[in-house]
């Protein structure tokens, strides 16, 4: 699937281009990438699936720093309590991470790695955290001024008068 399909027929300079495309496609097609948008102060799930294997070691990294690891025979470990795995799901190949009470500090690139032997196991998850507009405050301050505003919205909202 990830092998350059015409490699056998390529000659000369084309071989170099093909090799480059092949390397790029390796980086792209090996692991699935997801974008997850979490609502601030709520829990959200970062997906990761793998081919179930006996006693697989699951590791989650945030910007290449280990934030959680799990080995079924040893139980849960290496966490600040902010993130959890669904332990009972791991045996079924589901190593999704539960990010609890998300905050803007949780934004970033997460990587799920499992030591199964199957290519494409694991995932890359880009996490965004947003605080949607929950209410709009509108008030008339004087005869000629109407004030419109909202609070606690992230990222900063854009406003338009019509």
Ligand X SMILES: *[C@@H]1O[C@H](CO)[C@@H](O)[C@H](O)[C@H]1NC(C)=O
Among 40, 115, 120, 128, binds ligand X (CB under 6 A): 115
Q: What is the DSSP letter of 29?
A: H
Closest CA to 148 of 160, 133, 136: 136
Tokens 């694991």: give the residue.
122
- Pattern 48-67, binding to ligand X, x per CB under 6 A? -x---x-xxx----------
Among 38, 96, 102, 123, binds ligand X (CB under 6 A): 96
Closest CA to 96 of 41, 53, 43: 43
Q: Does 116 bind ligand X (CB under 6 A)?
A: yes
Query: Where in 28-47 is the site for ligand X (CB under 6 A)?
Result: 45, 47
Closest CA to 106 of 59, 34, 37: 37
Nearest to ligand X of 37, 89 (CB atom): 89
Query: Where in 130-159 is the site for ligand X (CB under 6 A)?
Result: none
Q: Are 71 and 136 in contact (CB under 8 A)?
A: no
Q: Kindly state the number of chain residues that form the binding site for ligand X, as judged by CB under 6 A.
A: 14
- We find the least distance from the C-beta atom of residue 157 to ligand X, in angstroms, to be 30
Number of H helices, E strands in the chain: 2, 11
Nearest to ligand X of 52, 108 (CB atom): 52
Cα–Cα distance between 124 and 150 in angstroms, integer? 34
- We find the least distance from the C-beta atom of residue 45 to ligand X, in angstroms, to be 5
Binding site for ligand X (CB under 6 A): 45, 47, 49, 53, 55-57, 71, 86, 89, 94, 96, 115-116
């Amino acid at each position: 699937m990830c092998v350059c399909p015409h490699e056998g027929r390529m000659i000369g300079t084309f071989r170099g281009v093909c090799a480059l495309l092949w390397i790029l496609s390796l980086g792209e097609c090996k692991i699935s990438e997801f974008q997850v948008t979490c609502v601030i102060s709520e829990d959200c799930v970062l997906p990761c699936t793998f081919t179930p294997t006996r006693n697989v070691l699951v590791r989650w990294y945030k910007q290449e720093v280990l934030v959680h690891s799990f080995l079924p025979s040893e139980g849960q470990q290496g966490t600040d309590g902010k993130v959890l795995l669904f332990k009972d799901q791991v045996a079924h190949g589901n190593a999704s991470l539960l990010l609890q009470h998300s905050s803007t500090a949780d934004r970033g690139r997460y990587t799920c790695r499992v030591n199964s032997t199957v290519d494409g196991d694991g995932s890359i998850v880009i996490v965004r955290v947003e605080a949607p507009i929950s209410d709009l405050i509108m008030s008339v301050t004087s005869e000629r001024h109407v004030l419109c505003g909202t609070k606690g919205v992230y990222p900063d909202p854009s406003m338009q008068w019509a």
